[in-house]
Amino acid sequence: MSNVPQMHVEELKRRIDAKSDIVVLDVREPDEYKSGNIGGQLIPLNDLPRRISELDPSKETVVHCRGGGRSSKAVEFLQAQGFQNVKNLAGGILTWAEKIDPNLKGKV
């Protein structure tokens, strides 16, 4: 995995709880999202190039998938499109389920 900027789940939880102006982007597939999600905007990785206009490059964006692989690719893609404040959620929703929301364990 390349050197994409990361945000840890604890930091994202703090930012969400503080109602920060932050976009959470979920790049998993719709069936994965239905099984369990953290309320992010769903744009599957393969749809991202044609749906990029739904995102605001001026907003801080945190991208996640299940474990971090797809979201890292999404961060690299967004950076190449001029997004400067975009980070990968370290460990993805699996780490979120482990450290933040145990109710998601086994669903994601």
The set of catalytic residues is: 65
Structure tokens at 2: 């390349």
Print burial letters for 3-36: b (CB count within 10 Å at least 16), e (below 16): ebebbebeebeebbeeeeebebbbbbbeebbeeb
Structure tokens at 75: 């961060």
Beta strand 86-89 with 60-64: parallel, antiparallel or unpaired? parallel
Q: Which residues pair with 26 in a beta bridge?
A: 42, 64
